Amino acid sequence: MAKFFAEPSHTFSEYLLVPGFSAADCVPSKVSLLTPAVRYTKGQKPAISINIPLVSAIMQSVSDDRMAIALAKEGGLSFIYASQPIEMEVEMVRRVKNHKAGFVTSDSNIMPDQTLADVLRLKEERGHSTMAVTHDGSAHGKLLGIVTSRDYRVSRMATETKVREFMTPIEKVVFAREGVSLSEANDIIWDHKLNALPILRQDGSMVSFVFRKDYDSHKDKPLELLDENKRYMVGAGVNTHDYKERIPALVEAGADLLCIDSSEGYTEWQQQALGFVRQKYGDAVKIGAGNVVDADGFLFLAEAGADFIKVGIGGGSICITRETKGIGRGQATAVIEVARARDEYYKKTGVYIPICADGGIVHDYHLTLALAMGADFCMLGRYFSRFDESPGAKVLINGSYMKEYWGEGSARARNWQRYDSGEGGFHFEEGVDSYVPYAGSLGNNLGITLSKIRSTMCNCGALDIMTLRSEARLTLVSSVSIVEGGAHDVLLKENTQGFGR
C-alpha cells in the first residue's frame, strides 16, 4: 500500500509570524542578512557566503549577465541559465567576471542613418536617454557620436530626422581611452561637467560608458558580492546531460558556484553529476543540487556531495508540474521538513548544508517566513523577471507595461535537458509562457523588499538569520484570518474614481 503523509502540506500564505520581544537596539539598520551558500564543517567558515539571502532563478527569462551584475551589486547571486549552448553560457559568465565596477557596456545603441523615431522607441524600450551612435549600431562598434535628451526636442523636430543631423559628433565628444581607472574617469566627468564618459579603444571602437549618476551609487553599495580579486561573483546552472563538457568550461570561465538545474533532484542522474565534480575537482568546485521536497531527498543529495540543496517542486508561478503530473508538495511544509532533516544531519555529522527555498514566494513577507522556517536563502524567478535587468522584453499590454516571463518547462524554453527523463525528447509542458507587471529597476525594488525583511526580523527580536530561525514563532492561520489580514470593510480611495456618478 502507498505511504500517506498524515498531515496536509501547507503554503507560505497559511502562516504568520507571531512577534517576539524586541530590545531597544534591535533596529533594521543593525540587521545582518549574511547567509552561507555552501556546506561547511562545524567550527569553520563557509567558502562562499552571500550578503543577502536572495538568488535569481536559473531561467532564460531571469538570469543573464546583466542580471548577475545588477544583483551582485546588491549582495545577491545570479545563476546564469543553462538552457543555451555551452559557449554562450561561458561568455555570459566571463562578461560578469570581467566587468569592472563603474564601467557599463552600452545597451542603448543606434546608427547614424536611423531616425528620431528610432531614438524615442529605444528610449521607451530601454529607459536610457544616453545612446552611443556607432557605425553598426552595436555596443562595441566605432563611435561616431552621442545622443542625449539635450540633442533633440520632439515638439520642434520631425520624427523622420536622421540621427546624424542632431547627434553630438565624435569631434565634440569628451572621451577616455581603454585602460583609464574608474577614479580617473570620474575626475574627467567632474572636470568637464559630463553626465556620461565614453571609453574607447585606440581604433575608436566603444568599450563602455562611465556615468556620473553611478558615482554615488557605487559608494552606497557596501554589500556588493565580490570574490578575492574584487570581481563580481556569479553562479551558473548546469544539467545532467552535458555536464562533463559544460562544468569544466564554466569553471575555467570563473563561475563561483554551480547548480544542477533539474525538475526533480532525487535521481541517479544528479548523483552521477555530483560524483563527477567530486572526482575531478574534490571540494574546490562548489555545486548545488535539487529540487527535493522531503527528508529522503535531502539526505540522498547530501550524501551525494551537494554543497547546497534546493527545495520545492511545482510552486513556481509559471510551473504547472502539479497540474500535469500530480507531484509536488506545499512549499512551506517542504521547507520545514527539509530544514529539520538538515539540522539533524548537522548534529549527526558536524556538516552544515544550506537549503534554498525555490518557488512559492508570492509576497515579500513569504521570504521572511521561508528564512524563519529554516531556509538559508531563496531562489526567485517571477520577482526578478519584472525588472529592467531581466532578459525578457518590455511590452505594452492593454495600456500597461509588462515583462515577458516564461518557464523552463514551457515549449518556448525548449529546455529538454531539464525535463528529459533519460529516454530523450520533450513530451509535454510543465511551464507556461506569460507576462508579469513591469516594476522598473532592480535596485529600487530590492531595497524595499530587504527593508521589509529586516523590519520583520526586528519584530521577532532577531538581528541575524540564525537568530530569527531559533527565536521565530509561527502560527497557522484560517482562511478567515487571511481575509482579516488585508484591507476589508472599507472603500479604498483608489477605487472611487467615478463613484456616485
Q: Could you list the active site residues?
A: 319, 418
Residue pair 59/67 in contact (Cβ under 8 Å)? The answer is no
Distance CA 223, CA 50 (A): 9
* Residue that has been written with the C-alpha cell 547571486 in this structure: 77
In whole angstroms, what is the distance from residue 1 CA to residue 331 CA? 26
Strands (E), 39-142: 40-41, 49-50, 54-56, 77-80, 109-110, 131-134
Cβ(32)–Cβ(458) under 8 Å?
Answer: no
Which of 157, 218, 143 shows the shortest CA–CA distance to 186? 218
- CB neighbour class for 501 (10 Å; exposed up to 12, middle 13-18, buried from 19): exposed
| HEC-encoded secondary structure of 192-257 | HCCCEEEEECCCCEEEEEEECHHHHHHHCCCCCCECCCCCECCEEEECCCCHHHHHHHHHHHCCCE
Cis peptide bond upstream of 398, omega within 30:
no
Distance, in Å, from the CA atom of 234 to the CA atom of 197, rounded to the nearest integer, reads 27
Q: Are strands 257-260 and 287-292 parallel, antiparallel or unpaired?
A: parallel
* Closest alpha carbon to 385 in 335, 419, 354, 431: 431
Provide the sign of the torsion angle of the four alpha carbons 431, 437, 438, 440, taken in this order. negative
At a CB cut-off of 8 Å and minimum separation 6, what does 25 contact? none
Nearest C-alpha neighbor of 257 from the set 302, 224, 288, 298 = 288
DSSP state letter for 393 = P
Cα–Cα distance list, 168 to 133, 137, 156, 171 (Å): 9, 16, 18, 8
Residues in the chain: 501
